[in-house]
């Protein structure tokens, strides 16, 4: 990408932020929510426009007002660059009066933003970044890791696969904070269950050619090739693995983070029988089905669990503001930790002292084409996984907010 195009995208990101702010954005007495997301990059389908609409739906549920004040949105595209994300968020907090930032796909960006939120004593509710550092060593009294962690997803999926006798692994991961953490967590689970990781390779974000990495995976003779990346990189890696005959050669793929939109892009023929761990699914219950019908009318597909997490976090935040009677960050956070999280997507969920939302998740398996009853009917739910088995033990926490005996 040339320098001119880089400058254009940076200007476009700022323009997008302003364009979504609406007529109420300058109301100093309003409640302002900043959706920091990926509008055109590798995770745009799984977050992006859908995350914006999910936040908007939560606002509409309260009639667009809380504490008799208007609630408005600003939106920014961080382009998966911590410097762009940090610049947008500083402007939001300092000049635009934003009270809370939500979504934030990309762990490197999320860690940078959470640092700014700590400095400014403003809230950030991360739905779409999974690095455990957000609620471990770099935890914040003003940050919540809402939807999932790399630890939870790797623990849920790798446990199931290794216990089926698949002991020898090779890991293909993205070369940034999220992928590195997901690879490390996966390796820890594999080893804890008596398996071994024969090798790990890292690819650049938004890679187009996985040939050299897949050749290394094949040469390792591993039983399982663990895919530890996200969005378009997951889709490309699985598609190219099929072209290289990874599965037909006797190896199996295990995706550590596979989203509904990824399965749709791959098709059931390619993705069938893949195990994955999901915090939520559009077809869980009556409430999720109703939400997803409305969401699909706006976006064109049911929500991913990342987008559902944005809806859930904004909804809970607004309830806490109402209960606290203020937008003061400390008061609202205190209410968020005491109020039950009761939206349709969150099962047995609560916010721990380290800022992690502990929730029950589900082990799912992608349906075969014959099993699917229609569009977006992609998962069989194998079983519920209790949230406390997927959360890092507080006794081993690196978070300074956790009180140790």
231-252 pLDDT per residue, tens: 889 999 998 998 899 888 889 8
- 375: CB partners within 8 A, 6+ apart: none
Residue 179 lies in a domain: yes
pLDDT at 28: 53
Does 288 lie in the same domain as 176?
no
Does 166 lie in the same domain as 96?
no
Backbone angles phi, psi at 95, to 5 degrees: -110, -30
Does 263 lie in the same domain as 168?
yes
Does 252 lie in the same domain as 182?
yes
21-67 pLDDT per residue, tens: 433 333 457 999 999 999 999 899 999 999 999 999 999 999 999 99
Does 368 lie in the same domain as 238?
yes
Does 303 lie in the same domain as 261?
no
Does 161 lie in the same domain as 78?
no
* Over residues 163-176, mean pLDDT: 93
Q: Give the span between the Cα atoms of 396 and 259, in whole angstroms.
A: 30
Number of domains in the chain: 2
Does 384 lie in the same domain as 347?
no
269-282 pLDDT per residue, tens: 888 888 899 999 99
Strands 100-103 vs 123-126: parallel, antiparallel or unpaired: parallel
What is the pTM for the complete model shown? 0.87
pLDDT at 163: 84
| pLDDT at residue 14 is higher than 60 | no
127-153 pLDDT per residue, tens: 999 999 999 999 999 999 999 998 999
Predicted confidence band at 228 (pLDDT cuts at 50, 70, 90)?
very high
Predicted confidence band at 328 (pLDDT cuts at 50, 70, 90)?
very high
Does 139 lie in the same domain as 193?
no
| pLDDT at residue 3 is higher than 60 | no
Residue 97 lies in a domain: yes
Does 112 lie in the same domain as 78?
yes
Predicted confidence band at 74 (pLDDT cuts at 50, 70, 90)?
very high
Give the CATH number of the domain where residue 339 resides: 3.40.50.2300
Mean pLDDT, the chain, whole residue set: 91
The range of the structural domain enclosing residue 59 comes to 31-148+284-351
| pLDDT at residue 296 is higher than 70 | yes
Does 170 lie in the same domain as 139?
no
Give the percent of the chain with pLDDT over 90.
80
347-364 pLDDT per residue, tens: 999 999 999 999 999 999
Name 227's bridge partners. Answer: 172, 255
Does 159 lie in the same domain as 142?
no
For residues 56 and 176, which has the higher predicted lDDT (pLDDT)? 56
Residue 356 lies in a domain: no
Residue 110 lies in a domain: yes
pLDDT at 144: 98
């Amino acid at each position: 990408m040339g320098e001119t195009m880089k400058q254009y995208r940076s200007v476009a990101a700022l323009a997008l932020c302003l364009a979504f702010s609406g007529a109420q954005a300058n109301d100093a007495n309003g409640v302002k929510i900043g959706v920091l997301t990926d509008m055109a990059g590798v995770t745009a389908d799984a977050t992006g426009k859908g995350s914006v609409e999910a936040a908007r739906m939560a606002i509409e549920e309260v009639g667009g007002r809380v504490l008799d004040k208007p609630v408005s949105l600003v939106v920014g595209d961080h382009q998966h660059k911590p410097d762009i994300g940090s610049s947008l968020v500083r402007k939001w907090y300092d000049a635009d009066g934003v009270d809370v930032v939500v979504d934030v796909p990309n762990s490197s960006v999320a860690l940078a933003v959470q640092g700014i939120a700590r400095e400014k004593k403003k809230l950030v509710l991360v739905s779409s970044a999974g690095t455990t550092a957000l609620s471990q060593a770099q935890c914040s009294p003003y940050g919540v890791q809402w939807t999932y962690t790399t630890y939870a997803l790797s623990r849920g999926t790798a446990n199931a696969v290794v216990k089926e006798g698949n002991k020898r692994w090779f890991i293909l991961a993205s070369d940034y904070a999220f992928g590195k953490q997901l690879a490390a967590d996966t390796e820890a689970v594999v080893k804890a269950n008596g398996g071994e990781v024969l090798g790990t390779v890292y690819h650049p974000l938004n890679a187009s050619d996985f040939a050299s990495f897949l050749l290394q995976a094949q040469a390792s003779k591993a039983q399982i090739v663990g895919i530890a990346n996200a969005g378009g990189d997951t889709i490309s890696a699985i598609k190219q693995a099929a072209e290289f005959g990874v599965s037909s050669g006797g190896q199996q793929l295990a995706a550590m983070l596979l989203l509904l939109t990824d399965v749709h892009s791959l098709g059931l023929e390619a993705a069938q029988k893949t195990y994955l761990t999901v915090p939520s699914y559009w077809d869980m219950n009556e409430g999720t089905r109703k939400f997803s019908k409305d969401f699909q009318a706006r976006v064109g597909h049911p929500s991913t669990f990342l987008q559902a997490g944005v809806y859930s976090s904004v909804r809970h935040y607004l309830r806490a503001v109402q209960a606290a009677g203020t937008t003061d960050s400390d008061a609202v956070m205190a209410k968020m930790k005491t109020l039950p999280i009761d939206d349709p997507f969150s099962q047995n969920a609560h916010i721990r002292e380290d800022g992690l939302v502990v929730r029950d998740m589900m082990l799912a398996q992608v349906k075969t084409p014959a099993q699917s009853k229609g569009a977006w009917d992609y998962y069989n739910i194998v079983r519920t996984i209790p949230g406390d088995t997927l959360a890092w033990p507080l006794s081993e926490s690196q978070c300074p907010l956790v009180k140790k005996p």
